[in-house]
Structure 1
Amino acid sequence: MVENSVQRRLAAILAADVVGYSRLMGVDEDGTLTVVRNLRAEVIETRIAEHQGRLFKSMGDGFLAEFPSVVKAVACAVALQKDMAARNAELPEDRAIQLRIGVNLGDVIAEDGDVFGEGVNVAARIEGLAPAGGIAVTGMVHDNVGSRLDLSFEDMGEQQLKNIAQPVRVYRLGAPSGTSVRPTAVERIKPSIAVLPFTNMSGDPGQQYISDGITEDIITELARFHGLSVVARHASFHFANKGKSPIEVARELGVAYVVEGSLRKLGGRIRITAQLVDARTGNHIWADRYDRDAQDIFAIQDLVVAAIVTMLEGRMHAAEAAKARAKPTTNWSAYDCLLQGRDLCDHQRDAEAVPLLERAIAVDPHFALAHAWLAIALTMSNVILLDDDQMAKAESASKQALELDTNDATSHWARALYYLWTGDHDRSRFHFDRALTLNPADIQIKGDYANWQRASGRPADALATIDAAIGLGPFVPDWFAAVRGLTLFDLGRYADAVEALESVPVQRSSGLLYLAAARAQLGDLTGAREVIAEVKLVKPDLSLRNVIQVLHYARPEAQQHLIDALRKAGLPEQYVRPLRAS
């Protein structure tokens, strides 16, 4: 018996066809076949192999290939179009061979060497939207490429594709005229860098949050420079206290450079050492030590960022690095409170973070980042029983953060989350887009953006986004599994939803409700009711009426899907206050 090998996976798919193939065949059938055959052997197959892709289907007038990453797929598409332009420059216009190319990131099914499924179908459909000699990509590809390649994109809006249920956002790559790809766009891959957690040399484990917070801020500042590709915080922090050398870490993360350092805080003084290592040679490119008052922490961070950028991007000047930041605060006490509050939020202890962040604002009312994180903490600690007073504070804090610094990614993220959980999907999308433009390396923003896609009626896109975010590195936030579980429930994949949600170490109430709903849909009513009982230990007055008030699905049928499942799981229609004993 022969075993049939079927595998479902996320893949970047490139679809291409020859423009005007029928006309060319009509003019010169033998000549056209020869040219296309040579083109495939000399250019197409070579370029696909160079970018670690695999040609899995070849037709007379087109081909399909899969790649391990969207960056490689798009870089290959650009290289192909550059090659085609060079070849066509030597041919008469009526004999030129031009390609249209479409690139999509989506779920595919692989069987016996072939690849099919909606991920392939979408790539083939959007290829027809590309101009001759041009490239079209889906919103998923656009969002995941971010600033990793030096490319320009033109938003073509949402497109209704044949035999695809949901509209797909499409972007056109290239010059504004859309007739050709810019020559400067070809594969200018950026220097890649990881910032390892700075070692706490203070002798007090309770001050670890300071070292972690400063490391995180350096990562954020480096990510502002679109000339660098910066590894996300959670991937870097996985290597804390692992005893691995910078070269070993770089190999696992796939980067060329590593920043490492240490911090010692004694009283009001702070000493930071930092060094930049070329992981390919092991050589130290730059190292320095800073011994300052704690109040000067941001000046030190600016010097570290400026030095790294100057070393890796010769065209950037230290003055530009200094201008990249609007100074968040000059008060160490406010910054210390922010670091503690942000650390609690990172561990889903949002309610505990609120007083610390309020204290930071009391010390420095102009501290935009503290306002932003206060808004995030207030919003995320109230996602099921939305307390009107608390959400009003979240709205005010997120608004104040943007008024203080309109170019801060965290401030836009905070505003996007507030609108997400209060049902204004359009405004939420605007601020998510802005946040990701300002800091495309922030993996947490991408995770919450997937939640926006889910709530706005695009669960398939949401699943692709969260899977792509998880695929950016082996070490991602625990709550990504919760977003994935919620999305899988919306897609009706209940067993997969249960598996994802049960893997989350610390559950918010929202995750537990979806876990109960998924179990109920699978017929495990006992397990569903156990989870409901667990939620009601924290929120004893929770009812379906509460859930309906705070659910803001763009599609009513998606909301009803969850409500019906929660009803089946035993969540009461409304809270009935128990009678007091007389």
Structure 2
Amino acid sequence: MTSAGINRVAASQEEVQQQLERILSSREFRLPERTRKFLEFVVTETLAGRRDYLKAFTIAQAVFGRDANFDAQQDPCVRIEAGRLRRELEHYYLTAGGADRIIITIPKGGYAPVFDVIGGAEPADILPPEQANASGADNGQIHAATDAIGRNPADRRLWPRYWLLAAGTVIILASTAAILRQVGSPGVERETGLGANNRPTIIVERFDNVSGGNLASDISRGMTDDIIEKLVRFNDIVVVTAMPRSKSGEASLEPLYALQGSVRLEGSMLRSTARLVRRADAAVIWANNYDADMTVQGIPKTQASLAGDIATAVARPFGVMFQTDTATIAGRTDAFSCILSYYSYRSEMTVQAHEVAKSCLQRAVEQMPAESNVVALLSLIHLDEFRFSYQLHTKATAATLGLAKQLAEHAVQLDPKNARALQALMLANFFDNDPVAALSAGASAYASNPNDTEVAGEYGLRLSMSGEWERGCTLISEAVGKNAGPRGYYEVGMALCAFMRGDTRAAELWSRMSDLNYNPMHRLVLLSILGALGKKQEAEEQLDWIRRESPALIPNIRQEVTSRLARTEDQRRFLAGIEAAGLSVQ
């Protein structure tokens, strides 16, 4: 069947297989081996005529090694990896795959891939990503291009790629606009869209009632209020509900973003849409739909739950407002630029990115010594030199830890309810071998902003490693389910959770889903798991990597394990796996 120049039947198995190999071998396809196997499995099964069998249960068994007791409701590994795979396929077609004839996608709502064939397309027919993202391209040009295609039915074959390119350009423009608006003095706030201490300002508009009726009207008003209440807990942003006015009555601040949405009632179902709009050009830089059955929790809790999901998606660390390129903002010292620099560094986890973010934050603290957020992030970046020393090639000294703790305490003094400051204090106390103080600060951080996925994830990790595995692992699982960043970071926590409860197969799955190159300690976790499973050959591969890339870790394994795992029985279990893998622990 052919429609609009796209043929979903004509592609031969050989063509699809070649496209699969092209994707898997591309540098732009940046996923761990297990996710690659996910893609390979669903494509192969579809080509073999077994697409109807591609359910979460089947994939969990064939790809992730789950047994017959697998429960997709309790273990979201397939759903999480499917979401990650969809995002990475989109990235591939925005970059290396811009000229490919066959497009492989996995539509939401299932796991069976679709193979779109661009009829008659040649590389010259496709607008290259670098051309679409050139400085002269703007939203109007994108619309003009798509309008031109729409007028010529023969050119509709280009739709999928133009939309991908348009989406990519919007995201890039959003990041660039957020960065460019950092420059300037307080006197130009109306143009920059930045509020107090150069934080981005969001105006929350009342959600529309598209159903009519008093109940929907009450819910739309309540949803808006709940979203505002949850957004204001994120210290990195400024939230307003109306255009601020100067004494003369003129608008004194032009918000950078607008959060808009709607509410619809369909029986017992509450359906809401939300979108984040860049006000400078009305470009939608993020949008999502949310559904919930109000009979499960009742109206107030359902309303609050959806509001929390929306607030988290908009303002969470490593989310849409914090996606940027470190090099673009290097040298700037306003608070928000340094915050962007920090999150970019944590995503990259390289020595260079660390130095850029550290220098920015040091200068920002000198200029804004009373800004709790930048002091807290400076504390965290010093702490990283202690806890990520093998990755950053730093020395984990007592002086480094002491400075991080001093900064964290000062950040909390500046703002006792700042979740990021309390998170920094929690981590500093934890690595200073004071678990009671660490968990106290963590509890305060989580109470201050439970929708901050980084706070929830880090608090969950500290609870777990302190021996409170059930409580901690629940928080880690929730953070992973909300796409907490950095990518592949909290999955290693899920691996430890599974390992300590004796589910070594699930532990291996989660460990391989983590970013093994983020920190050599992630490799050490996988090594212990493989040793416990008796997988000597695979364990040797991980051990060879550690010997080659991080030899300084080997003589310090016992020290690193005991500094992280509080209970003796947890330490023994972990070190026993290392020994079983063939490495004698000193």
TM-score under structure 2 length normalisation? 0.45
In terms of fraction of residues, the more strand-rich structure is 1
TM-score under structure 1 length normalisation? 0.46
Name the larger-Rg structure. 1
